[in-house]
Amino acid sequence: MIDAPVWTEKYRPRKITDCILPERIKKDFQAFVDAKFIPNMTLSGPKGIGKTSVARAMLDELGFDYLFLNTSLFGGIDTLRDKVLQFVSSMSYDGDRKYVILDEADGMSNAFQDGLRGFIEAFSENAGFILTCNNPAKIIEPLISRCPLTEIIVTKDDFQVLARQFYNRLGEILIKENVEYNKPVLVEVIKKTYPDFRAGINKIQHYALTHGSIGGGVLAEVRSTQMGQLIEIMKSKNWVKMRDWIGENYAYLGDFTDFSTEFYKAIKPLVETKNLPSIVEFINVHDFQNAFVVDKEINLVSFLTKVMQEVAWK
């Protein structure tokens, strides 16, 4: 029987050493833990990269009392008065500094942000504040100055090390949950979801709950979701967003032949029939070119650009 609790929470890192991060980033957070003092900060980075896990792991490891709020759900001024004020205005049981984690802080209302900057100063002796966000541009500058920005960014060069760490983590989870899994399939899931570790764990749990084991079928679900994201971008004819998406996901899309086959199957029912011959011709040309071009990523972008310019959507 597969356990029902959400695995991302059940197996959440309780120490910085357990977080899946490049060492150059992890060492800075570990230094705060070693000093037994966590400064105010704003953690930013792509979804699922581990911003919230880092914040909670530092505080859990030190045993500090903290209030966790998802401000995309509770980011109004009433939350600031009713929850945050009550928490920061009282001392912790052991006299240690208390902390407030404001998750998804880019969802805070303007009133909440204006009020929060006063709270940070008024209760600085008693409480610290950690904000997490995907888009720091939505947070006012006075808050960023009080909670300096720390970006959690992973690069393509980090892939091998972090993918191995994530593979080991997923394997440990599946063993503890008594779920059989196919190792090559697990590797492919990681390639398709990296660096969104949360999405990888959620996908694995969903498939384990519905199928009982991790087999090849899970890849179809991952690829379908990924291809759907790309097609929605192409339908909007947002070339810059398409280019950014390819840049972020290229290392995990497979070779051009596999990608174009999946792409054609996904796009076929969504475009006017008269466009299909052109798409096939584009695939043929770029598949041939892919064996000779210096930059295969640019070859893929060129292919998608032609499709975006040519097709009429149903």
pLDDT digits (tens, 9 = 90+) for 196-215: 888 889 888 888 887 787 87
**Residue among 48, 14, 43 nearest 203 (CA):** 48
Predicted TM-score (pTM) of this structure: 0.69
CA distance 306 to 267: 14
Q: Tokens for 298?
A: 């640019």
Q: What is the mean pLDDT of residues 228-254?
A: 83
CA distance 103 to 43: 9
C-alpha of 239 from chain center: 22
| Sign of the torsion angle spanned by Cα atoms 107, 109, 112, 116 | positive
Asked whether residue 234 carries a pLDDT value surpassing 80, the answer given is: yes
CA distance 194 to 242: 18
- Do residues 112 and 77 make contact, with C-beta atoms less than 8 angstroms apart? yes
Q: What is the CB neighbour count within 10 angstroms for residue 220?
A: 10
Q: In whole numbers, what is the pLDDT of the chain averaged over residues?
A: 87
**What are the start-end ranges of the H helices in the chain?**
7-10, 23-35, 51-62, 77-79, 85-88, 110-122, 141-146, 159-176, 183-193, 197-211, 217-235, 239-249, 256-267, 276-289, 296-310
DSSP 181: E
Asked whether residue 73 carries a pLDDT value surpassing 60, the answer given is: yes
Q: What is the CB neighbour count within 10 angstroms for residue 160?
A: 9
Name the residue with higher pLDDT: 203 or 175. 175
Asked whether residue 178 carries a pLDDT value surpassing 80, the answer given is: yes
**Residue among 38, 26, 28, 45 nearest 151 (CA):** 45
Quick one: pLDDT band at residue 305, thresholds 50, 70, 90? very high
The domains located in the chain, with CATH, are: 23-151 (3.40.50.300), 225-310 (1.20.272)
> Among 19-28, 59-68, 164-173, 226-235, whose mean pLDDT is lowest?
226-235
